[in-house]
Amino acid sequence: MTNDEIKLLSRMKKLVKKNKKRFAIRKDRDYIKSLFELGITEEEAWNYVLKLNAYFYYRDYKPDYLTNGKALIFKMKINDIQAYIKLKIEQNNNKEEETVCLSFHKDE
């Protein structure tokens, strides 16, 4: 991880601790079902986010150019299952920053 990525992860964690967080609603994947498949709840997922560090970082060699801003990707074992976690910071409707979980599912 670069210094900028480490700082970005730190900002993400601070927002999560302030309860400024949400899961992205996607047409192609139901995050609640994905969390269930990993055997965790939404709150447990956020606790795993708080444990992320450079060790779990995964460099994305095909970044999503359709989304604005830098997303960070991580892979970690949860209940003996390799999980894929993708996070970014976005502004909500009130123009406040929040950590958005774009993906939290079994690694495919």
| Residue 70, token pair as written in the block | 């830098």
The domain containing residue 60 runs over which residues?
3-106
Mean pLDDT of the 13-25 span: 96
CA distance 103 to 90: 14
Q: CB-based burial of residue 35 (10 Å sphere; 0-12 exposed, 13-18 middle, 19+ buried)? A: buried
Task: State yes or no: pLDDT of 66 exceeds 90.
Answer: no
- Number of structural domains in the chain: 1
Give the pLDDT confidence of 73-105 residue by residue, as tens digits.
999 999 999 999 999 999 988 999 999 999 999
Tell me if residue 67 falls in helix, strand or coil.
coil
- pTM higher than 0.85: yes
Instruction: Give the CATH number of the domain where residue 79 resides.
Output: 3.30.2310.40
Neighbouring residues of 46: CB distance < 8 A, sequence distance ≥ 6: 16, 21
